[in-house]
């Protein structure tokens, strides 16, 4: 989860960071569980001190419980780089204050897409009427997706703390559908091949399950450009490769404002759906 920040701090401790006295990173805590939040803060403070101690700059990380506070600080120029769930950007941020950035990610970006998992005997959403649907509790966008598919607000959605548990409960018939990122399904099949034999993908969505990261638009363009170019060269260093391996990132991903379009369209459709139900 915190590979985004490790990558950013590593990159800005290299050549690009020479142009900054401060670099302020914001993280939306809604994408963390209560358990991982404390661990993340401790871990990142350690990494931050280690990476930046010889870089000659002040790198600061801020956690935001309330997205509206992050929006205010961004518009005041207090944030240089912000990371959060796509839905948070769509719901709260004025996208005109943001610009494309980068982060680390898997070699196959389709692994970040949400998939709809069912048992082999289910062939359509129509068969899911009054069925139990498992979704990780922070995956709010997929709650909306499910309600739109079923055309009902009171769908039987069961909230989970861990996505891996959703897949297991589908396997053991405790729910009738599981909605998780593709990577979680792949890992589950690797750990237990029977899962691949009993379950199938009903649908692959175009909704990204991971955090996206963006620059403050008014940040100096040369800093943005240099940082991205430096990030692409990160594998040239042994330390960079080791860190990317630890945090399960195999390539540099260019995160674009246009990546928010599928979520923006889904959210708009959901708001119209809600109006029609009143």
Q: Can you tell me whether residue 208 is helix, strand or coil?
A: strand
pLDDT in tens, 4-23: 555 555 555 554 444 446 77
**Domain at 109-208: CATH code:** 3.40.190.10
Token pair listed for 90? 């769509």
| Burial class (CB within 10 angstroms; exposed 0-12, middle 13-18, buried 19+) of 121 | exposed
Highest mean pLDDT among 24-28, 110-114, 225-229: 110-114
pLDDT at 25: 83
Distance (Å, whole) CA 243 – CA 10: 9
- How many other CB atoms are there within 10 angstroms of residue 268's CB atom? 11
pLDDT in tens, 190-217: 999 999 999 999 999 999 998 898 999 9
pLDDT in tens, 33-66: 544 566 666 655 555 555 444 444 566 778 898 9
Residues in a beta bridge with 158 = 134
Residue 278: pLDDT band (50, 70, 90) is low
Same fold, 3-107+210-260 and 109-208: yes
Average pLDDT, the chain: 82
Question: Domain limits of the chain?
Answer: 3-107+210-260, 109-208
Token pair listed for 47? 């990494």
Class for the domain spanning 3-107+210-260 = alpha beta
With 70 as the cut, is the pLDDT of residue 82 above it? yes
């Amino acid at each position: 989860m915190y590979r985004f920040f490790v990558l950013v701090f590593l990159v800005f401790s290299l050549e690009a960071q020479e142009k900054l006295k401060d670099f302020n990173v914001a993280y939306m805590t809604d994408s963390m569980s209560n358990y991982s939040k404390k661990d993340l803060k401790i871990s990142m403070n350690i990494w931050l001190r280690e990476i930046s101690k010889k870089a000659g700059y002040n790198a600061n990380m801020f956690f935001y419980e309330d997205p509206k506070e992050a929006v205010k600080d961004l518009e005041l120029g207090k944030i240089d780089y912000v990371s959060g769930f796509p839905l948070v950007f769509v719901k709260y941020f004025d996208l005109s204050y943001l610009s494309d950035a980068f982060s680390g990610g898997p070699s196959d970006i389709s692994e970040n897409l949400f998939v709809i998992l069912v048992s082999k005997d289910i062939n359509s959403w129509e068969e899911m009427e009054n069925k139990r649907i498992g979704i990780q509790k922070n995956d709010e966008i997929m709650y909306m997706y499910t309600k739109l598919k079923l055309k009902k607000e009171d769908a039987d959605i069961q909230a989970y703390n861990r996505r891996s548990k959703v897949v297991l409960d589908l396997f053991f018939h405790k729910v009738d559908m599981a909605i998780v990122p593709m990577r979680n399904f792949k890992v589950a099949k690797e750990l237990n091949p029977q899962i691949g034999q009993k379950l199938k993908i009903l649908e692959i969505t175009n909704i990204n399950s991971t955090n996206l990261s963006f620059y403050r638009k008014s940040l100096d363009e040369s800093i943005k450009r240099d940082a991205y170019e430096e990030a692409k060269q990160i594998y040239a260093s042994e330390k960079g490769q080791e860190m990317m391996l630890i945090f399960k990132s195999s390539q540099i991903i260019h995160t674009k404002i246009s990546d928010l379009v599928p979520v923006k369209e889904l959210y708009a459709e959901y708001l119209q759906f809600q109006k029609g139900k009143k």
